[in-house]
Amino acid sequence: MRHYPDQIEIEPLAQPFDATLRIPGSKSLTNRAFLLAALADDESTVRRPLIADDTNRMLDALRALGFVIEDQRDAVRIVGRSGAIPAHQAKLNLGNAGTATRLLTAACCLDHGTYLLDGVARMRQRPIGELVEPLRQLGANITYCGQSGYPPLQIHAAGLDGGSITMKPTLSSQFISALLMAGPYMERGLTLHFDGPVTSRPYVELTLGLMSEFGVDATVDDAFTQVSVAPGVYCAADYTVEPDASSATYALAAAAAVPDSRVAIPDLGADSLQGDTAFAQVLADMGAGVTVAEDHIAVRHAGPLRGIDADLNHIPDAAMTVAALAVLAEGPTTIRNVGNWRVKETDRMAAMHAELIKLGAGVVVAGDDLTITPPAEGRIRPATIDTYDDHRMAMSFAVIGLARPGITINDPSCVAKTYPGFFDDLDGLRQTQGAGA
């Protein structure tokens, strides 16, 4: 993994850039594909996966559970066991990898064995009761080893009965994804009824799309109030991971913010499974020039950005980038319905509030909404940004530094969670300076 110094001062881009940037693979798709490959009926190959701390945590956990995994050049080969877990006892240290923790909590219930799932101190502060309680309804035996509702978890697995349950809106869509991915191996399958809107619904749709790639198609009603998964078996697949749409937002935002600049992200387009491609439309609403084709997304600077008022519950990770861009826009920006920021790698609502104020912005938190008023006349105060061991704090504020001087990022190595080469890619934009549109 790439290691950076304790601080990095972001040097503004003094000239326009015109770049084509290849983004690492999607974390969401990589972790789901790794697990589905392990649950499938034969040997699968996952190509162009993201190799970062979060995905390494998933692979290490699958190895601890007894799965045969071979790292190849730009690919990972996994021998599936048709829903069986080879090791009947394991301790899984998942760090602060929320996706891996939630997906594996459900998967570990499918066979017979005893499994301990734990992580860093922050993971023990991230609620998981909204997944554990439905799993208990479906036949799981799960014990909290510490505070009720939080990891670490002790799972005494004996298979899942499955059936039909009703779920109220959850803090994280990953709770729903975890249940759905385990659904085919429940004795009676699984039907989820949603009593209210589905949090970050595009991520649930991403999960369903990837399940289909591995041969299991769910039944979804038109209003997305019910999803059913019949008993079955995942089929082995040769799957290529798309570039990470969340990681792409930083380069796209930089092109929107730096005068006369342009960037294109290949292999990520209109047919993507990832909901964060909707960030492109947010940029268009803010005044950027945006093209979304089947095989790429391109953004160009088209004049000053303007503040917006938008519900971004469907793209909470990309909403972090919007919050950073709001400092560079004309007029206030209100980001609505992002209360689940509080249970991410850090309390992102509090972290954003604290760090944006350092730059001279006006910041008001009202419930699950955040309103940001940029500094008068765009005069951003120089500041050292604390990142709270949160990769998206580092990457979001780095975008501001590309457009304005005086931004220093503390603990830049935290980007290793999902985008180890992030700061190297920012430097790559400099190599195309002077070639702007």
Query: Which are the catalytic amino acids?
Result: 317
Strand ranges inside 16-141, DSSP E:
18-20, 43-47, 69-72, 75-79, 89-93, 112-118
**Beta strands across the sheet bearing 190-194:** 163-167, 190-194, 226-229, 219-220
Structure tokens at 176: 């729903």
Phi-psi domain of 23 (left: phi exceeds 0; alpha: psi -120 through 50; beta: other): beta
Backbone phi and psi for residue 250, each to the nearest 5 degrees, phi listed first: -70, -45
Alpha helices per DSSP H over 148-221 = 173-182, 201-213
The letter for the amino acid at 288 is A
Q: How far apart are CA 48 and CA 182, in angstroms?
A: 24
Terminal-residue alpha carbon distance, the chain: 34
Nearest to 261 by CA among 202, 313, 303, 227: 303
Q: Is the peptide bond before 197 cis (omega within 30 degrees of 0)?
A: no
Q: Comparing C-alpha atoms, which of 13, 23, 17, 46 is closest to residue 277?
A: 23
- What amino acid is encoded at 102 in this protein? R
Q: Compute CA 208 distance to the chain's CA centroid, rounded to the nearest angstrom.
A: 16
Contact 103, 178 (CB under 8 A): yes
With beta carbons less than 8 A apart as the criterion, state whether 32 and 234 touch: no
* 283 residue type, one letter: L
3-state secondary structure of 118: strand
Q: Which amino acid is at 46?
A: V
d(Cα 206, Cα 392) in Å, to the nearest integer?
A: 21
